Structure 1
Amino acid sequence: MNTMPRIDPRKAKDLLQIIKGKAGIYTPEWKYERSAMDGGAALAELFAQMFGETIDRLNRMPYKNYLEFLNILEVSAQSVTPAAGLAVFRLVEGSQRSVVINRGTQLYYDRGQEEREEGSARVIFETTKDFYATPAKLMGFYSINPRQDIIEKLDFEEGSVTFFNPSGARNIQRHAFALASQDVLKLVSPADITLSLENTALSYLNEEYLARLANPGFARWSYYDGKAQIPFDQVKVKDGQLHLLKDNHTPLRPYVLEGDSPEEENFWITCTMQSDGQRDEILMDRIAMGSAYLHRDQPGVHIKPDLLYSNDLALDEEQGGYCFGTQLMPYQCFYMASEEVFSKRRARINIEFALNMVTRQVGDANSVYQYNFYRKYVVEKVDIPAPVPDRIVVSRVVWEYWNGAGWTHLKVEGDVNPFQGGEGSFKKRISFQCPEDIVKNSQNSVEGYWIRARVVEVENAFSMYAHLLLPYLEAVSLDFTYGETLKAAEKIYTENNCVKALSAPGTFATFKLYEPLREKVHGVYCAFDQQPNGFPITMYFKIEGQSKAKSLLKIEYLTQDIKGEGVWHELKFTDTTEGLTEDGIISVYAPRDFKKDTLFGQEGYWLRIGEGNLNYAERPTIQPLVQKVIPNVVEIIQKETIRGELFRTDSYEPNKTITLRNRPVLECELWVNEIRDISQAEMAYLRENKANSVEVHYDQGGHLQEFWVKWDPCETLINAGDNSRHYKLDQNTGRISFGNGLNGKVPSPAEEGNIKVNYAFGGGKKGNLQEGTIEGLLIGIPHVDQVTNLEMTSGGSDGHDLKTLEKVGPCKLRHQGRAVTAADYESLVLGQFAEVKDVKCVGNYDAFGQPAWGYVTLVVLPAHIENRMYSLKLCRKIEQSLKQRVSCELLAGGRFSVVPAIVMKVNVMVTVSLEDYDRAAEAERDIREALKRYLNQGMSGGQSFKIEEIPSLRSFYMLLNPLRNVARIQEIILEGRYYEGSTLRVIPLDGEFNLRYVVVTSGEHTVKIL
């Protein structure tokens, strides 16, 4: 752009005015009139036009001299830069082996018709490294904190996760075991549950185990009431057994535990444990249980039966009733049902009857015939004695229970016949061991556990004159106890370290009731479905924000020792994430001897990412936020490599030039075959000292045939010596220039091609592609199903424009290739890196924007700032370039850094009133679009903000006021969102703030219409 002052500001119209004025003096008879065109007027017009062009050329002379001045300074536009990005390789489903992807593997994208230019219809990308694409899929990530006994399964679908700081709120670690028994644990009334837990092999530890399980700080015992787990009222150890006391009438409810048959519900008691710092396991191989009514030693009614029947007549449990009705006869039955008590197989059951013997008279004395066989008188002379009434009582009963096939004898002890007694109230007790084969049956249409007393004999059943003694039941009290006869647990469920196990009946094993976290390393454990072997395999880590502290990672894999047990071995790897502080790829060199194992309930092949210096473990505020982890990712660059392009040199060609077939050139490696004029001594010297710069070829007879020497590029040949192997490359034109024998060596002559060039070409903005645009491999690779770019490819530029060269060119005189002032730093970067949009040098501030005396920080705004990985790579590239130009004191003290600008999204909340509310939707859309155009970098019509340039509130009023249908802007509120390390910050922008290194971009905007 020409900004030079004009030598002569006159235009053609000014010259015509001069001619018109002079004509009145020199030729008064002729007058110049444009409307009356004659020969004189035509001549004047022609002269003014031609002389005006001469003036224009004269005015361009300063600008041309300025450009020539820049050429003398050797100011030239930097070559195009290639776009770079990431490609992800996906293998065919079902592949079992890793696939080698060589460096330089080419990928392509066919441009659309509207994008095509001559010779550039297809855009080629190449991979930058060798790697193995593995078919192994990531099945899960587990973040482990062994100190706090926390296991968190990381879920990237829910958002970013903290890698080394597992959350206690999402802790899936659980230490628990549960015991099931359909008989022992069918409880409603207050009960004492007895647990016998033994380790026969380590019996000396039983006392310690029981003490830990009775410690409320370690173990919490509970049962399920149908809604939630209810803790037991008391847990204690007595006589080498654990006693769980339940002092309420809340029933235990059966439920289906995880892993059990869904059709089978069981009664469970659960022990939930938490880490107590001890590393000892709790192992048991004999687990038995029993239960007893808690208050069986106290007087009073203990457990009431569920139902009482006299034959088929139900008895009221509160008011009582006649056990056998009002007539006594054989085969009458008295039934009792209790779901809680009579289900306790093998338990000792006690029943106490509170009876009242009701007496009724049958017949009278007159109805009794008396015969005296010992007297001989026909008529007695004495009074006849009154007859004594008989006693009609139940003299014998049989107790029975239902065994599934029929009623069978129940052996009872104590008052076997409690229904035989004297008149009045009395109590009788019976006791029996609940049979193993008792089952439910339906009695009087009611299903339950039933026992009965069946009348076998009635004494004086047919007496004409008797007292009928009817047993009247006033109350029945039941209780039970297993005593020493404990039953083995029917099912045992254990859960430790996310490993769940359910043991079926009859399983004889040692049960790990409590197992501390086996893994003692704080880190993240990655599970694969196959062995992720390869040299190397790659994993891409997308990081949110940036951590202030770099960490030294340590990667291990799970293999097995000579005993077949799992052991962790360290792996070699390369890390471009700087310890998970930025986006990058971790390349792991993984062998083929992974061990398949189950950790945290997940079976697979395992990698462990640990932290060597425990920065993240001890300082949770600097934890990295990881957005996603993707395997089989490699860096790609938009270029195409040509190898072995040959050129020939005639006899002694000084100042020889060759032009490569493809341009612009991104990389170049030039070899010259010097077999014809190189000495044996120089050959030996080059082989010994510069082996990497020499290639030697022999014929079939073993004779030296070709001796290729690698030449080095340089910016100018002026300072090259007569024997210097240097060449000058113009990357834009592909032209290579050699020396003349004085300034640079002349290539050796040859009859055939003796100059071999390996180079890569490409670059430009055409390589900046959206995510998923790359279509696939240029040449297919077996087992590779799909390849595409994982994210937007960024960094492609077409080189410097003339405006930039005019700005930075003269600065070469000032900085002379050295960075001293802030302007020197900025000029060096802008002149060397065309992909940099803006740069700012800040003194006395460190890389994190904190005041630091003597520090120099260079803040860079790339053209594609949304791609953070590209921005960080560009900053490292700039820093490496400037290390030869800045003060060694800054470098030695670590006080020089290059960082990308902090992206701050500006959210605008606008409250407006409108002129026409029927067009409110259109007005809202116009306001949003205006805000986006104003804030977005590089968007057509938008303003490009510089680093640390924050738009003022006034500028938004000026932006929105002229919009159609906006009557008045009531209020505008600005807020900025940015990441400080890995923490998202929100700040108001209405006033002043001192945040450094920020560049604004459009965020989310809210429009409120009043």
Structure 2
Amino acid sequence: MVKSAPKIDKRTATEITQQLQELLLEYAPTWQESEIDPVTGKRLPKKGTISAVLIGTFARFAEIIIERLNQVPDKNFLAFLDLLGASRLPPQAARTPLTFSLAAGSTVDVVVPVGTQVAAPPAEGEKAPVIFETEAELVVTAAQLTSVFVREPQQDTWSDRTGWLTTKTATAGFVFHGDAGVEHSLYLACDDLFTLPVAKTVTLTIQSEEAQRLAGLPLTWSYWDGKDWRQISQLVSNISENNQSWQVSIPNFPVPVKQIINGVEASWLKVALNQPFTAGSDPLPSIQSITASVRVNQSNLLPDLGFINSSPLDLTKDFSPFGETPRLSDTLYLASQEVFSKAGARVTVNITLNETVPVNSENEVELAFDTWDGKAWQPLLVTPSSLATAKFSQSGSITFTLPNQIGLGEVNGKNNYWIRVRIVRGNYGTGTSSQPPTFTTLRQEIRENTEQIIVNSSRGFMPGDRIQIATGTNTQEVRTIGVVNTSNNSLTLTEALQSPHPVGTGVWLISNTLSPPLLKSLTLSYTYNATQSLSACQTYNNFTYIQQKEQPFIPFEALTESHPSLYLGFTLPQNRSKFPNRPLSLFVSLADLKYGEKFIPLSPPYSRQVATTGIVTHPIWVTNDTEQSVTWRVEIWGNNWETTISEEGTSITLAPGEIKSLKVQITIPEDLNQENRDIAFLRLSRPDTFATIYTATLETFVADQLPPMSPVRLSWQYWNGQAWSKLTVDDGSENFTLSGLIKFLVPADCQTKAEFDLSERYWLRVQWETGDYLIEPRIINLALNTTFASQTLTIVKEILGSSNGSENQIFQTTRFPVLQNPQLEVREPEKPSELELERLKLPGNSNPITPTPNSREVWVQWQQVPDFYGSSSRDRHYVLDQLTGKIRFGNGRNGLIPPLGTGNLRIARYQTGGGKAGNKPVDSIVQLKTTVPYIEKVTNLQAAVGGAEAETLESLRDRLPETIRHRDRAVTLEDYEDLAKLASPEVARAKCLPLHWLGDPPEQAPRRGTTSIIIVPRSEALKPLPSLELISRVEKFLRARACPTVEILVVGPPYIPVSVNVEIALSSLEGASAVEQAVKATLEQFLHPLTGGLDGNGWDFGREPYKSDFYALLEAVPGVSYIRRLLVDDGRVSQEVEAIRKTGRFLVYSGTHTISLFFEES
């Protein structure tokens, strides 16, 4: 800041009055119209007298003259600056990107002309809308940007960034950094086995020449449950001795829900690779074949349905399998979807008879078992547990094997898998089943080989009768009675009994009376073993499914590309088939990051460290910004050198809001030479899923110092149907280093392509081929059909007047102020010489003349200059006062005089406007003032910023001396500081530290050839920190103006918080809370780095407030009586504060204050 000149005369009107009084007393002793001031003791003119009036008038006019005299140095200084061609800067126009939208259903592309006007409605306190004009022609296309993806092959990650297209919910994401692992999966289906709705064990036999290596891969097996892939945790793995076969058994295999994958509907088993697989990795083993086998053991199953001929059975109750009066060919039908559908299954039918009812089996009944094969009934070869069981006359089991051909059949209108049991010979007696049976029980136990039995009653039994003895264990024996003794109820048998029978065993008289079997229960059991080839097998790599019909095949493959890429997918309306071959505009809005801020949850995403030997440490920070504890799995991969993670190990748990550091230590091998390097990747993922991951690249160099970062080179490409072809773009984002427009013209041969498991789209992609980002860019929003607009009003072909050929002619524009780059033209009688035309050519304007029709006269564009000091007699120059719109031409010696003519001076184009009124919030510039067909709406997705009023004289006085000193070159310490503030209006303060590299620890020795600059941005925040984009802009600006050999580092300031603990005595209880708020606001304002301090100009670097400053400050707050106690505390660990304090380059800021209020009555 330029200091004001010292005052030539410091007297005021009061002092002049006193001096005049003293002179009157000296030279006019008879003058008596004076009196002594009782307060000051000075003699003054008596009030109300003529002398007082005259003396007061004279003193005031003298004071005015002195004030003007004191301004002479400043006026002369301004005159000097004017002599140098200085002028105040005109207002600056606010600028913002405007996004245009077509009307719903529109399928045509629309051109929005340059200069299209869009207005922001008047805000509160404004009387008129604020007009913005588009800066370039815009093609609003009907093509829609619908998909945005990131693919990072070096770390085998990807991201769906389509959220960037939605401004309301957009979140920042890295341009070339994925946050999810690329899926590498093998999908297996064998519906005949996998869909068995029973408990089963499925075994997959995988033939591979490297079975051991294949089985050692980190694989996750899962199945689809209808909503998500559910992991299978219980697996049994076996490798064959010859390392050619790998068997994976899955007990209790669930039934996967069917889903369609790549057009194939099946019950899928998914095998996913759980490790990054990059292009540089060794190829994984191939698979020769895969077969599936299943083993099922089920028992005690009820049949689904049962019929006796055409009558349905209730199988949950006792039932007669062939009815109450069975006859030849009567049939029992049994159905089971589960049991009888398994071709080759070993089935057991378990029957239990009701023992209270005898079965007449004297007639050699024979039963036949059949199953339906889909076309006809086929006989079954059965194996009963006994011959009696085969006739359903004794409890037991009947086992058979189902044939290889099984089919659905319809029985009595019911479709199912069926078996049947038919009576093919004999019967269960004749006559009527209503005759009551003759029955008694044993009174005494019978041993083995006994011929005589004692019963409770022999009534009804006669010699020659046949009887049946049945025990509770279903042991039945039939014998003939030889002798009946009614006196002791004994029956002598013709043949001894073979088995023992206890007391109470039933004894029935068997006759030819009808007595069919009555079953208490009938259940099914089966064992099923089957081996089949897979019904479907698909691999999924790089978002592409491949049906593996040929053998062998590679299940997991790496990405084919080698560079990180950003993909943009476009779709067209239904009735359009060609991508527009017209220039399109895409606005890229980058997310900002403040200096010292950390990326969440992993920071930094890229670390570079250097050493010659030993262990190199990469400090990494992990942040939990959620309200819950978070556990992360920590992995290191891709490294060739020994790498360890200190302290935390393979997992890290963070409490809500906690920040932890990870120290990744890399050991440099001893036998390495200089210029070697190693790249490792740190990976954070949740323990239960790989759906979301975060990665950091750790690059270690073997050298004395870090190699310089090379410039970034990006390659834009489009798909032409066969390959990716080069696409030329106008990149206003400068390789995604700042928010801006990217303009491109897609060639006519652009074709659709299927990517990322989506339907076909027109794809553009940008690849990061080489170079290094200091901070990898993050995008928060992408907007198609966008162009920049500024708060200006454009006037074209305004006639200034007519030249009369005189010297120093002055003309006036109708509107002012005039913003940058007006185009003034003079109609001349003939075309200038070629040499003169070359001198008139400006960047972006290679043709400075405009012919007039039917005349030799031409309009010639003249050049604006700050002054005529460097103009010759033939230079077509003019001087413009942009604030007033006054235009002055030369005198013929310095600057050419415009030729005589009528209306031969005009401004072909100029703009007016600017000011703070143009700084508008998001979505406020929405009124389309220029009618454009098919355009439905327009809005600003970003706030309009940059609007500023015209420069003040004070600012001019500060700027020009600095400009004269540095001449746009950084040489001295002050030059760096002045140019840093000139690099951007956002820079409020700058401090240059030569021979310091602030990236080193403070105790490091000075480094020759280095310069560090600390910048502080204009901000009302308590702790102003520059954004990384601002740091990059300032650093780039300084490098272009400094010595090429100087290493420049721009950083933000280190801060020390100042916390005040104060006890305040109130003058009154009323408004106590307001006093507390006022004290807090006063402290925050006083401690603000830019606007605080005693003079309101902020705090100097290295300056801390004194304790006494706070007493005077706080006691001046209304409502404060006095300060009882005050303590100033930095609020941080003393060692850290002392380390910052010793540097002398810190700033203070408002910390956490404790304010206690007291009231004491006097």
Same fold (TM over 0.5): yes
Query: CA contact under 8 A between 1:912 and 1:970: conserved in structure 2?
Result: yes
Letter in 2 for 1:4: P
Structure 2: 5+ residue stretches without partners: 38-43, 431-463, 477-520, 573-578, 595-604, 607-708, 1158-1162
Q: CA deviation at 1:661?
A: 1.9
| Alpha carbons of structure 1 residues 391 and 630: separation in structure 2 relative to 1, 3 Å | closer
* 2:591 counterpart (540, 543, 546): 543
Q: For residues 467 and 181 of structure 1, what CA distance do their matches in structure 2 show?
A: 52
**TM-score, scaled relative to structure 1:** 0.72
For 1:576, the equivalent position in structure 2 comes to 732
Is residue 766 of structure 2 the alignment partner of residue 609 of structure 1? yes
Query: CA contact under 8 A between 1:86 and 1:633: conserved in structure 2?
Result: no
Q: For residues 136 and 950 of structure 1, what CA distance do their matches in structure 2 show?
A: 58
For 1:45, the equivalent position in structure 2 comes to 53
For 1:433, the equivalent position in structure 2 comes to 403
| Alpha carbons of structure 1 residues 335 and 648: separation in structure 2 relative to 1, 3 Å | closer
For 1:366, the equivalent position in structure 2 comes to none
Q: CA deviation at 1:726?
A: 1.9
Q: For residues 247 and 58 of structure 1, what CA distance do their matches in structure 2 show?
A: 103
Q: For residues 1155 and 1020 of structure 2, what CA distance do their matches in structure 1 show?
A: 31
* 1:349 counterpart (326, 346, 349): 346
Q: CA deviation at 1:706?
A: 1.4
Letter in 1 for 2:53: E
For 1:396, the equivalent position in structure 2 comes to 366
Letter in 2 for 1:15: T
For 2:924, the equivalent position in structure 1 comes to 773
Letter in 1 for 2:294: S
Query: What's the CA shift string for 1:445-473, capped at 9, x where partnerless?
Result: x9997756455445795794266897899
* 2:752 counterpart (593, 596, 610): 596
* 2:387 counterpart (419, 429, 444): 419
Q: For residues 948 and 442 of structure 1, what CA distance do their matches in structure 2 show?
A: 99
Q: CA deviation at 1:804?
A: 3.1
Q: CA deviation at 1:60?
A: 3.4
Q: CA deviation at 1:555?
A: 1.7
Query: What's the CA shift string for 1:45-91, capped at 9, x where partnerless?
Result: 31243134214413531322332233124264422241342222221
Higher mean C-alpha displacement, 654-663 vs 785-794: 785-794
Q: For residues 733 and 88 of structure 2, what CA distance do their matches in structure 1 show?
A: 29
What are the within-5 Å matches in structure 2 for residues 474-485 of structure 1?
478-482=526-530
Q: CA deviation at 1:412?
A: 1.0
| Alpha carbons of structure 1 residues 861 and 630: separation in structure 2 relative to 1, 3 Å | farther
* 2:791 counterpart (638, 655, 658): 638
For 1:181, the equivalent position in structure 2 comes to 191
For 1:666, the equivalent position in structure 2 comes to 819
Letter in 2 for 1:607: L
State the aligned residue count: 910
Query: CA contact under 8 A between 1:648 and 1:753: conserved in structure 2?
Result: yes
* 2:74 counterpart (58, 62, 66): 66
Q: CA deviation at 1:613?
A: 0.8
Letter in 1 for 2:107: Q
| Alpha carbons of structure 1 residues 651 and 428: separation in structure 2 relative to 1, 3 Å | closer
Letter in 2 for 1:635: F
Query: What's the CA shift string for 1:934-985, capped at 9, x where partnerless?
Result: 5778889995546867876969976778586999789977689xxxxxxxxx
Q: CA deviation at 1:190?
A: 5.1
Query: CA contact under 8 A between 2:800 and 2:812: conserved in structure 1?
Result: no
| Alpha carbons of structure 1 residues 575 and 951: separation in structure 2 relative to 1, 3 Å | farther
**TM-score, scaled relative to structure 2:** 0.63
Higher mean C-alpha displacement, 76-85 vs 859-868: 859-868
Q: For residues 82 and 874 of structure 1, what CA distance do their matches in structure 2 show?
A: 22
Letter in 2 for 1:529: T
Is residue 14 of structure 2 the alignment partner of residue 12 of structure 1? yes
Q: CA deviation at 1:572?
A: 0.9
Query: CA contact under 8 A between 1:663 and 1:761: conserved in structure 2?
Result: yes
Q: For residues 1072 and 915 of structure 2, what CA distance do their matches in structure 1 show?
A: 43
Is residue 228 of structure 2 the alignment partner of residue 217 of structure 1? no
Query: CA contact under 8 A between 2:5 and 2:73: conserved in structure 1?
Result: no
| Alpha carbons of structure 1 residues 833 and 87: separation in structure 2 relative to 1, 3 Å | closer
For 2:236, the equivalent position in structure 1 comes to 233
For 2:97, the equivalent position in structure 1 comes to 87
Is residue 595 of structure 2 the alignment partner of residue 627 of structure 1? no
Query: CA contact under 8 A between 1:653 and 1:746: conserved in structure 2?
Result: yes
For 2:1140, the equivalent position in structure 1 comes to 992
Query: What's the CA shift string for 1:787-840, capped at 9, x where partnerless?
Result: 333323333333332333444555677667765433345557779988864444
| Alpha carbons of structure 1 residues 970 and 525: separation in structure 2 relative to 1, 3 Å | farther
Q: For residues 879 and 1076 of structure 2, what CA distance do their matches in structure 1 show?
A: 58
Q: For residues 728 and 796 of structure 2, what CA distance do their matches in structure 1 show?
A: 32
For 1:164, the equivalent position in structure 2 comes to 176
Q: For residues 416 and 1078 of structure 2, what CA distance do their matches in structure 1 show?
A: 77
Is residue 800 of structure 2 the alignment partner of residue 803 of structure 1? no
Query: CA contact under 8 A between 1:281 and 1:512: conserved in structure 2?
Result: no
Query: CA contact under 8 A between 1:554 and 1:610: conserved in structure 2?
Result: yes
* Secondary structure of residue in 2 paired with 1:992: helix
What are the within-5 Å matches in structure 2 for residues 310-329 of structure 1?
none
Letter in 2 for 1:54: A
| Alpha carbons of structure 1 residues 722 and 946: separation in structure 2 relative to 1, 3 Å | farther
Aligned identity (percent) is 19
Query: What's the CA shift string for 1:829-861, capped at 9, x where partnerless?
Result: 779988864444443457979986334566666
For 2:147, the equivalent position in structure 1 comes to 140
Is residue 572 of structure 2 the alignment partner of residue 523 of structure 1? no
What are the within-5 Å matches in structure 2 for residues 111-510 of structure 1?
111-112=122-123, 114-115=125-126, 121-154=128-161, 155-156=163-164, 157=169, 159-167=171-179, 170-171=180-181, 173-179=183-189, 181=191, 185-186=195-196, 188=198, 191=201, 193=203, 215=215, 217=217, 221=221, 228-234=231-237, 246=249, 248=251, 250=252, 252-253=254-255, 255=257, 257=259, 268-273=268-273, 291-293=294-296, 303-307=298-302, 340-344=338-342, 346-351=343-348, 392=362, 395-400=365-370, 409=377, 411-413=379-381, 415=383, 419-420=387-388, 429-433=399-403, 436-438=406-408, 451=419, 453-458=421-426, 464-465=465-466, 478-482=526-530, 486=532, 489=535, 496-498=541-543
Query: CA contact under 8 A between 2:152 and 2:158: conserved in structure 1?
Result: yes
* Secondary structure of residue in 1 paired with 2:21: helix
Query: What's the CA shift string for 1:657-685, capped at 9, x where partnerless?
Result: 22222222223445554644777786898
Q: CA deviation at 1:731?
A: 1.7
| Alpha carbons of structure 1 residues 924 and 518: separation in structure 2 relative to 1, 3 Å | farther
Query: CA contact under 8 A between 2:863 and 2:877: conserved in structure 1?
Result: yes
Q: CA deviation at 1:185?
A: 3.7
Letter in 1 for 2:257: Y
Query: What's the CA shift string for 1:222-266, capped at 9, x where partnerless?
Result: 557997534542477999999966474x363453547799xx998
Letter in 2 for 1:419: L
Q: CA deviation at 1:526?
A: 2.1
Query: What's the CA shift string for 1:875-921, capped at 9, x where partnerless?
Result: 969977996xx5xxx34336468x6x749999999888898999897
Q: For residues 993 and 395 of structure 1, what CA distance do their matches in structure 2 show?
A: 110
Letter in 1 for 2:526: L
Structure 1: 5+ residue stretches without partners: 198-206, 294-301, 363-389, 562-566, 977-986
Letter in 2 for 1:233: V
Query: What's the CA shift string for 1:474-508, capped at 9, x where partnerless?
Result: 9986322346xx5884x8787554467999xxxx9
Query: CA contact under 8 A between 1:219 and 1:271: conserved in structure 2?
Result: yes
Q: CA deviation at 1:611?
A: 0.2
Letter in 2 for 1:526: L
Q: For residues 944 and 83 of structure 1, what CA distance do their matches in structure 2 show?
A: 27
Letter in 1 for 2:232: Q
Q: CA deviation at 1:135?
A: 3.7
Letter in 1 for 2:466: Y
Q: For residues 966 and 841 of structure 2, what CA distance do their matches in structure 1 show?
A: 40
